[in-house]
Structure 1
């Protein structure tokens, strides 16, 4: 039976890849406390083990899936990347450049001092910075570096060795440094800093305040307005405005037994029955002696919840407190704001500013939602069809640009087709926030391209390097682990200090900027747990977009520096 399985896997490499993915994802989901290896590391380890039987896989397989992965990465970070470079996110974008440069410097120092070649250095930067995508660009760079095929293979076999040895602390160490050492470096109580930021910068509302409730709560009830009630003789807009600091809306009206079409200028009269949305206690106070009644027909208001992609230029930088008073948001309730490639949740506070490319989850009557969509952007309703014309042409054009070779000092410099796909993804991802009708890549497809695309590449790397992995580990020695500690720790210890004293970031968002620059979502989540606040996420998205792009490119750069 064992001989049959091994011979079948050797003869059918596709089965070996799927077997590796299944085992890798299973390993990646196993948890020790709150820590898990993740799918990428699990797939690499599974590939190394399965690859011991000796399986030959065409290099074109991993190239196809890696290009698909890089396009998806670029598509996701495009809006925040461009915003960071072009607008008020520039300081955070520049900060990310500085931190990424320190990450590259740490690996370069380790390589020079220890005499590591491009293979170990590429694996070190991928593992210590937990940027698996850099392996692909490093592979392309080594293959086109002028090394003999034997020398290139020897270097390529060392990449997964260094990656596997240094990834563990790259993940755990970054989170520990930022969440627990970071506040001490800043000499601040991060929870108090976030509370102050919410109070002073974001409009004085706490997370459980009436503002948040007013944006999120939606309860519709029917009331009969009694003679002498506070709303009698007032226009609907004026009656709604009586609830200071709250957002309530008269959705429908019955007068004399008939449903009446209303506008904000419709006058309310005693005896009217109104369907009002808002917090119940506010509704009672607003309507004075209002009598709650049962009127199913009146309350039968078609309501929908829609994700709205913000593309309107006039909403870029607008605070939620201002948007709440704009007629375009009348009758709407905001459930969440998601931002960036990782769709991080942004706190719903009065001073929170919208960015083009944000996705707002709004709830309201269909007509009101449609009115908001027409002014704000694009209704990002669930879709199942991917615009493959857009994806295919974008990857082609990006690949053609990236494949161009520019010889400098005898060294062939090229982004490679993979780097070109990344740049194409960034451009198309940004373009969609300006012209959303050009095409779409649904979130499930993006997940497949991101996760499966990368892990097929990693599976092939692991399977191909399996037979030489042990020998490579012996060659690398235990010192690679300690250099991983240095390459991970040095930038992350300096980052909070650079953010505080050079860039003058507020302590509340400083550590979020640090985690974003290192593309470590887990570390910022840990900071948020310590801070008991989502505020650190406000500093995450722009540095993440820049950091994800640069750290991926560092796989190419470190090879060019060492060849």
Structure 2
């Protein structure tokens, strides 16, 4: 009876709480209308996000919804842009990045022109997405970056300078020649170069007093001219440079895919395997080794223990013993009996010609043949094995572990029986998981196996360091100089992958699918946000013949310099067409352009020279923007 009473009292208290909450929710809006504090509304507001209602129907309501819900705008632009980017006309396509930009700009322009809705998405979203892209790209090209500096650093610098000089000359003197008002030249440089920071430098020249507007003009009017020129030239230049960079090799008669393969061979020193930590490093590749199962009949094997057989026949390692349809635990060092089935892993040639006679007839027993194999990188941390040859290591009885590749200081070395290993080297091993881990212990390291996860700790820390380095600003004669957050973060990715190629324990591995997703989604989401914010500025700049000159000069400033620089890179510096294209897009500061040539060539090798010319021209473009404002 007491228990029943307790249950009734508990039920009563629960009903009272529910009734109180119901009244609170119902009374909250009414209290708020009367001007009294609404406790219910504040409680609900802490739990549920408030969704702004769409008050219009039809297309107006649709565009209003995109304004109220910016995430919906970004996702729609990504969806439609990716679909449009896949459409190909005579092998020419926009690609997902240019498609996303085009869709976003069209949506934002229609909203502004038809319904007076101005989209404005916080820039922190686009900035963060761009940094994710830059870091993921740095992870991919890091090991090749320093090799690229050694092989063609001077050429990369030369290409960057050519792009910058020609862009400045075309935009500044083009605006002066057609009589455009002050501010337009700086905006054209900023937009055609797709470097928004140049607008900040130009604005800084005015606020500091280094530039004084002519009589009859205000600082605000000059600033509006800069913004209009930037908006027009930015949109046209971004789409134009993506298409130009993508097809530059084809325009000059080069095969992008074939040249990319040659460049990869050149910049990897002829290496056959990806360095530790690189995409595809821990992928099982073709091997002369194979698994076979044999029924034991030969007297050399009968009555011998596993340890005795490992010492007598090190080239025929036994991986599994099946007896009466059961797997025998090898750690107990069992003795082989007649009728046992043993699984061995060795060179296919030896397995076919020797092992059958040495052990017995081959078996198709599934339990014996189903031995999972792994691939792993092991950092040699034992001085005891330093100096030993591959053949000597294998003679110790490695349990079916094969040395697939040998790396020293991030470079692949020729592999043979007489190749010696040293402390700090990295060996890539293939074989059963337990055998790999045992071999790793013998080598003084631990096995780095494939993973499906992304290393968030290293990602966050490296991006933070790169970001902080990028915002460090040094002011010289009133001109602020900074590496830039994008360049800082890509160099952070380069650094992580560089150190990981020396020691795979350093923050790895990162699954290639995760890295590729960060790269593709980061860039396209950045472009989607950017398109929403730029579209309205295009509308405001439309009018008179000024827009025609802005479009013509902006396109010329964006496209002519890369054409010239690419030709110089190939014909004068003798660069591979894909390497010249990568240096050119770095000189143009076009990250979407880099993505386009990587898609076209089906390779990331174009990104090797990109950071060199990118970092240089970022600084030069800011200097040029400052002086274009002063000289207006």
Fold equivalence (TM over 0.5): yes
The 3 A distance-change label for structure 1 pair 16 and 350 is: farther
What is the match of residue 238 of structure 2?
163
Equivalent position SS for 2:287:
helix
SS of the aligned residue for 1:218 comes to: strand
2:19 matched residue in structure 1 = none
RMSD of Structure 2 on Structure 1 (CA): 5.4
Query: Compared with structure 1, are the counterparts of its residues 413 and 178 closer, same or farther at alpha carbon in structure 2 (3 Å cutoff)?
Result: farther
- Alpha-carbon separation, structure 1, partners of 2:171 and 2:511: 45
Q: Quick one: structure 1 residues 142 and 103, their matched pair in 2 at CA, closer, same or farther if it must change by over 3 Å?
A: farther
Q: Call closer, same or farther: CA 1:36–1:293 in 2, change over 3 Å.
A: same
Task: Determine the C-alpha separation between the residues in 1 that align with 2:406 and 2:595.
Answer: 17
2:620 counterpart of 1:557: yes
Written as runs of structure 1 = structure 2, the 5 A alignment for 1:260-409 is: 261=330, 274-278=342-346, 282-287=350-355, 289=357, 291-294=360-363, 296=365, 299=368, 302-306=371-375, 308-309=376-377, 326-327=393-394, 331-332=400-401, 363-371=430-438, 373=440, 375=443, 378-384=447-453, 386-387=455-456, 389-409=457-477
Describe the shift of the 1:261–1:280 C-alpha distance in structure 2 as closer, same or farther (beyond 3 A).
Answer: same
* Aligned-partner Cα distance in 2 for 1:167–1:281: 51
State how far apart, in whole Å, the 1-side matches of 2:583 and 2:337 are. Answer: 58
Tell which deviates more after alignment, 276-285 or 513-522. 513-522
Deviations 1:478-520 (A, max 9, x none): 566566664344444444556669xxxxxxxx56755665686
Residue 47 of structure 1 is matched in structure 2 by 104
Q: TM-score, normalised by structure 2?
A: 0.60
For residue 561 of structure 1, give the secondary structure of its aligned residue in structure 2: helix
- Mark the CA change 1:331 to 1:483 in structure 2 (over 3 Å): closer, same or farther: farther
Distance 1:74 1:224 in 2: 53
Corresponding residue number in structure 1 for 2:224: 150
1:450 corresponds in structure 2 to 519
Instruction: Indicate if the aligned counterparts of 1:79 and 1:357 stay in contact, CA closer than 8 A.
Output: no
Residues 68 and 449 in structure 1, CA contact (< 8 A), matched pair in contact too: yes
Q: Is the contact made by 1:178 and 1:527 (CA closer than 8 Å) also made in structure 2?
A: no
Corresponding residue for residue 547 of structure 1: 610
Following the alignment from structure 1 to structure 2, what is the Cα–Cα distance between the partners of residues 357 and 11?
A: 56
Q: Does residue 115 of structure 1 match 2:171? A: yes
Query: Residues of 1 paired with 2:420 and 2:101: CA distance?
Result: 41
**Of the candidates 529, 546, 559, which is equivalent to residue 460 of structure 1?**
529
**Contact 1:236–1:250 (CA<8 Å) still a contact in 2?**
yes
Aligned to 2:5: none
In structure 2, the residue matched to 1:19 is 76
Which residue, out of 287, 312, 328, partners 1:215?
A: 287
Q: 1:213 to 1:559 in 2, by over 3 A?
A: closer
Per mean C-alpha deviation after superposition, the further-off stretch among 433-442 and 279-288 is 433-442
> Could you say which residue in structure 2 is the equivalent of 1:474?
548
**Quick check: 1:99–1:491 contact (8 Å CA) kept in 2?**
no
Deviation at 1:555, TM superposition (A): 4.0
The structure with higher relative contact order (CA 8 Å, sep 6+) is 1
Return closer, same or farther for 1:153/1:362 CA change in 2, 3 Å cut-off: farther
Q: 1:363 to 1:461 in 2, by over 3 A?
A: same
Task: Write out per-residue CA displacement over residues 456-481 of structure 1, whole angstroms, 9 at most, x where no aligned residue.
Answer: 22112222222444749733445665
In the alignment, does 2:160 pair up with 1:104?
A: yes
The verdict on how the C-alpha distance between 1:474 and 1:139 changes in structure 2, with shifts beyond 3 A counting, is same
Which protein is bigger by CA-based radius of gyration?
Answer: 2
Q: Secondary structure at the match of 2:373?
A: strand
Mapped to 1, the partners of 2:519 and 2:120 lie a distance apart of 25
**Which residue of 123, 127, 132 corresponds with 1:63?**
127
Between the aligned partners of 1:473 and 1:312, the Cα distance in structure 2 is 64
SS at match of 2:77: helix
Query: C-alpha separation between the residues in 2 aligned to 1:360 and 1:296?
Result: 32
**Number of aligned pairs?**
484
Distance in 1 (alpha carbons) for counterparts of 2:596 and 2:314: 43
Aligned to 1:251: 319
Aligned to 2:343, the other structure's residue is in SS state strand
Q: Please give the per-residue CA displacement for 1:144-198, whole angstroms capped at 9, x wherever unaligned.
A: 4425643552353122321212321210123564744999xx9xxx99x99x99x
* Cα distance in 2 between the residues matched to 1:384 and 1:201: 30
Give the C-alpha shift of residue 20 in structure 1.
1.3
3-state SS of 1:221 partner: strand
* Contact 2:198–2:625 (8 Å) recurs in 1: no
The whole-number CA distance in structure 2 between the counterparts of 1:479 and 1:219 is 66
Q: Secondary structure at the match of 1:413?
A: strand
CA-CA distance at 1:24 after TM superposition: 1.5
Shift of 1:284: 2.5
Aligned partner of 2:505 in structure 1 is 436
Residue by residue, what CA displacement relative to the aligned partner does 1:418-459 show, whole Å, maximum 9, x if unpaired? 443334443444455547365776544433432222222211
**Contact 1:24–1:44 (CA<8 Å) still a contact in 2?**
yes
